Copies of this chain bind each other. A is one copy, B any other.
Amino acid sequence: METKEAPNEITRRQFLTTVGKIGGGAAVFSVMGTLGLLSPETLKAAEYEPPGMNDLKHSNRNGKKVVILGAGVAGMTAAYELGLAGYDCTILEARTRSGGRVWSVRKGTANTEVGGTKQIARFDNGMYFNAGPMRIPQFHVTMEYIRKFGVPIEPFNNVNDHAYYYNENVGELSSQKIRKRAAKADVRGYVSEMMAKAVNLQALDLPLTPEEKEKLVEYLRAEGGLDKDLFYKGTSRGGYKDEPGSGLDAGVLRDPFSMKAIINSGFGNFLSSEYSYDQQMMMFHPIGGMDAVSNAFESRLKGKIQFNAEVTEIKQSNNSVTVEYKDLVTGKMKQAMGDFCICTIPLTVLKSIKADFSPEMKSAIDSVGYASAGKIGLQFKRRFWEEDEQIYGGNSLTNMDISSIYYPPTRYNDKKGLLLGYYNFGANADKLGAMTYQQREAHALTQGAKIHPQYYKEFEASFSVDWKKIKYNLGGWVSYTGDQRQTIYPTLCKPDRNVYLAGEHMSYITAWQAGAIESAREVVTAIHQRVMQS
């Protein structure tokens, strides 16, 4: 078994780096294949080869300066990785905090939306919600930094069959809160029953042997919970009218909804939201707030982040970049210079900043749209979703404006709790975003109370976010449309002389921290190669 063994005296990364130094990337992949480690996720993780820590020193290229715009995850990843290789990095950040869209809202968090008034979070100590990213797929590169930095994590409950579906105007099941398990059992039951009946139809003409058809029927029986005659008549999967208990209490199964009722309810279309590649369980989040990730980066970048620095102009000469910025504390204009600049500013914001980019780059930046996304955190006196309804984390989904309610995946059984009263996108987010904070709160409470009547009695405080109106972001995440990935995106991917764009928008993992990190690492590699070849 010798060749199948994984290294343990040194870490995998160290081992593969060593292999890579000796034999190059092809050798790394070959060795990984031999080790049985050849999964696409693993390959992706191994793709990044950080700049050698002594490359600059050994080549007399010390003192290379990089100005980074934005102390979000992309900017800080770049500064962290370049810093390890000896680059002199400065991050300019308009806000007083790092993290960018990584933003955990807690007691005292203040914000003034564009065109809005000031809002202060009046939550209790220890209560928080993540206004931006709130969950991390286990295979994202973000987990690599979490491990490296020792950030404590806990599962993010992205699937909870004990939570509800609630739809209005969908026929018989309108305006009823239905446990997800009930809808799932009925949808899968009826569809499996229909399919089991269809398998042997001549007209369907399945390209399967009789034995394979039997296996398919066996699967459908298991999948749908069908009886011996292949009928769906309800199963315990969907829950009970009367729970089974002790002694003679065998319980009474719920009656399944009718096939017509369940088809018209639209609940079936909710199921696949759990199947998306980056929404599948298990997911994770740092204990205490997503900003544990950005704080871990920030603490490793002491003295390198210039806060309250609002960029006003990006100018390039032959071999350097000058960034003009306003010191928001003193009101004075200042300058930062670098051999290179990494700009992680969202394109919605960047397009209004003066810059001597090429016309193609300018036009590309101008044409990109961003997604609408909104969230509201609602603090309640009591975790009634746990205490009364036994829902520990996860979400309830609805066709109302609020779209979803996310129960806190943390501090279970605590006295108080803070849930997301809505997390919605597109038109729903725009509709809520157009309201005042007070109107949003009222709307979230009115619609949410249809699912949880306890809302009114237990509500304490809210804080809402419309990402299109958040200064320095002006949008949830990039949203390339039509053929923009083929037309303008390649322009954005090329450096404009010595300025490189980075961020989730410069990736195919948009809206995720992983996109920001991967993009930053690509730019780090590109700059380092250019420096070493210069």
Contact in complex: A40, B389 (CB < 8 Å):
no
- Complex contacts, A47 vs chain B, CB 8 Å: 245
Partner of A185, one of B43, B275, B490: B275
Is A84's beta carbon under 8 Å from chain B?
A: no
Instruction: Looking at the assembled complex, report how far the CB atom of A39 sits from the nearest CB atom of chain B, in whole angstroms.
Output: 7
For A509, the chain B residues whose CB sits under 8 A away are 244-246
- Does A248 belong to the interface (CB within 8 Å)? yes
| CB contact under 8 A between A485 and B250, given known A39-B179, A215-B263, A263-B208 | yes
A388: chain B residues within 8 A (beta carbon) = 6, 12, 37, 42
Does the CB pair B281–A394 fall under 8 Å?
yes
Give bound CA distance, A389 to B35, whole Å.
12
Near B by CB (< 8 A), chain A positions 433-459 give 449, 452-454, 456-458
Chain B contacts for A272, CB-based, 8 A: 222-223, 225
A218 within 8 A of B: yes
Among B236, B263, B264, B412, the residue within 8 A (CB) of A277 is B236
In the complex, the answer to whether B43 meets A242 with C-beta atoms within 8 Å is yes
Report how far A139 CA is from B449 CA in the complex, Å: 22
Residue of B nearest to A452 (CB): B36
Q: Give the CA-CA distance A381 to B12 in the complex, in Å.
A: 13
Beta-carbon contacts under 8 Å, A187-245 to B: 187-188, 191, 194-195, 197-199, 201-204, 206-208, 212, 215-216, 218-220, 222-223, 225, 236-237, 239-245
Is the CB of A162 closer than 8 A to any CB of chain B?
yes
Near B by CB (< 8 A), chain A positions 1-60 give 1, 4-8, 11-12, 35-37, 39-45, 47
What are the residues of chain B within 8 A of A244 when measuring CB–CB?
A: 507-509
- Indicate if A339 sits at the interface (CB-CB under 8 A): no
Looking at A63-71, A352-360, A515-523, the stretch in contact with chain B turns out to be: A515-523
B139 in contact with A212 (CB, 8 Å): no
| Contact pick for A382, options B8, B198, B259, B281, CB 8 Å | B8
Q: Which residues of chain B have C-beta atoms less than 8 A from A456's C-beta?
A: 1, 4-5
Return chain B residues, CB-CB under 8 Å to A384: 6
Residue of B nearest to A223 (CB): B272
Chain A interface size range = 35 or more
- Residues from chain B with Cβ under 8 Å of A280 in the complex: 161-162, 181, 237
Q: Which residues of B contact A7 (CB under 8 A)?
A: 457
Is B246 a contact partner of A518 (Cβ separation < 8 A)?
yes
Which residues A379-435 have CB closer than 8 A to chain B?
Answer: 381-382, 384, 386-394, 409, 412-413
Given the known interface contacts A246-B519, A272-B225, the answer about A194 and B195 at a Cβ–Cβ threshold of 8 Å is yes
Query: B275 to A188, Cβ gap below 8 A?
Result: yes
**Bound state CA distance, A198 and B199, in angstroms?**
9
Please, how many angstroms separate the alpha-carbon atoms of A153 and B413 in the complex?
9
User: From A136, which residue of chain B is reached at the shortest CB distance?
Assistant: B392
**Any B CB within 8 A of the CB of A157:** yes
Distance of A36 Cα from B384 Cα, bound (Å): 12
Q: Closest CB of chain B to A19's CB: distance in Å?
A: 15
**Residues of chain B lying within 8 A (CB to CB) of residue A150:** 413
Q: A212-B264, A381-B8 are in contact. Are A162 and B146 (CB under 8 A)?
A: no
Whole-angstrom distance between the Cβ of A454 and the nearest chain B Cβ: 4
Among B146, B203, B247, B269, which residue has its beta carbon within 8 angstroms of that of A493? B247
Residues of B within 8 A of A248 (CB): 489-490, 493
Partner of A162, one of B139, B187, B239, B246: B139
Asked, given contacts A40-B240, A245-B522, A412-B153, whether A159 binds B159 with beta carbons under 8 Å apart, the answer is yes
16 more A-B contacts (CB under 8 A) besides A43-B242, A236-B277?
A: A36-B454, A37-B388, A40-B240, A42-B389, A153-B412, A155-B409, A159-B281, A191-B223, A194-B198, A201-B201, A207-B259, A215-B263, A246-B518, A249-B507, A250-B508, A282-B394
Query: Which 4 interchain pairs have the tightest Cβ spacing?
Result: A244-B508, A246-B519, A44-B243, A6-B454
